[in-house]
Amino acid sequence: MNSSLCRGWIDHRRHAPRVHAFRYPIGMLYLDLAEQDHVLGLSRLLRSWPLAPLCWRERDYLPARTRLGVPLVDAVREILTEALGTAPQGAIQLLTQPRSWGLSFNPVSFYFCHEADGRLSAILCEVRNTPWRERHHYVLPVRPGEPQAFRVAKAFHVSPFLPRDMDYRMRFRLQDSHIRVHMENWRDGHKVFEAHLALEREPLDGRSLRRHVLAFPWMSLRTLSAIYWQALRLLLKRSPLYTHQASQGDLSIGETAHKDPDHARTHPERY
């Protein structure tokens, strides 16, 4: 089975205009969308019932399409086709925090989209913001033989403490049981913010689901509470607030970023 549970750490660090950092343990689900029925049969802890300890429902994702009856796999491929002109026909694996005890909130979910031969072809990032409850999609095409590193203009207002006129630099590493995602916000040539997600995959079965629920109860509520707690800390530090701006469309396409040697020396990889 390709699906798994993941546990690890999420780190955030702001470099300007106020230094601010935190680190939290995190639990996530790595779901092969072709294995949904099998995964839902593993344990009563993971069900399609909204108030379950862990709830999997397709319509919690890409709702503009899935709530109209489009299967999530097809919704992902439709978005990739709109962005790239074509869509891979292999496995689609979703890294996300599933709904927990009725509450659904994901700052970002990642869809890793493969060709029929197993090669990773594209990454779809579904981003949600707080407190406006909006969504935006970034499509990152993976070029054969090139690093999974991307640059894309920020087109979606995520936090009231960061402006929208910034660029994202993202790096991904999926290797064996390890998942690493590193994201930076740059403005006028300066790194303003970075986040790092480090996860270890573990087999998904009834026993591991019990351990997961005990280790990460109320995961969605913990994530949302942490966001507002850190927002209060930023307010107390007198961090500036930026007016909310509407999204520039609902889809952005990234480009492969070739590593700058000087940047690599002063900002080494955190993997």
177-214 per-position pLDDT tens digit: 999 999 999 999 999 999 999 999 999 999 999 999 99
Residue 18: count of CB within 10 angstroms of its CB: 14
* 110 vs 93: CA distance, rounded Å: 8
What distance in Å separates the CA atoms of residue 236 and residue 167, rounded to the nearest whole number? Answer: 27
pLDDT at 258 (0 to 100):
52
Rounded to the nearest 10°, the torsion over CA 142, 148, 152, 154 is 120
- Looking at residue 268, its pLDDT comes to 34
* CA 236 to chain centroid: 28
Is pTM, for the whole model, over 0.85?
yes
Whole-number CA gyration radius for the chain: 18
Q: Which pLDDT band holds residue 269 (cuts at 50, 70, 90)? A: very low
Look up tokens 């979703």; give the residue: 94
Structure tokens at 257: 């970023």
Checking if the pLDDT of 266 tops 70, the result is no
Higher pLDDT, 27 or 266: 27
Summarize the confidence of residues 44-54 as an average pLDDT: 94
Largest CA distance in the chain: 52
Q: Mean pLDDT over all residues of the chain? A: 90
Element (H, E) at 25: strand 20-32
pLDDT of 79 over the 80 cut:
yes
The neighbouring-strand residues paired with 179 are 174, 199
The answer to whether the beta carbons of residues 92 and 109 sit under 8 Å apart is no
The 8-class DSSP code of residue 229 comes to H
Structure tokens at 165: 């006129």
Q: What is the distance between the alpha carbons of residues 113 and 110, in angstroms, rounded to a whole number?
A: 9
Distance CA 222, CA 118 (A): 35
Burial state string for 97-135 with b = 16 or more CB within 10 A and e = fewer than 16: bbbbbebbbbbbbbbbbbbeeeebbbbbbbbbbbeeebb
117-154 pLDDT tens trace: 999 999 999 999 877 788 999 999 998 877 899 999 99
pLDDT at 229: 95
- Residue 33's SS3 state is helix
Which residues, in sequence order, are CB contacts of 236 under 8 Å at separation 6+? none
**Averaged pLDDT for residues 247-262:** 66
Measure the N-to-C terminal CA separation of the chain; round to a whole number of Å. Answer: 26
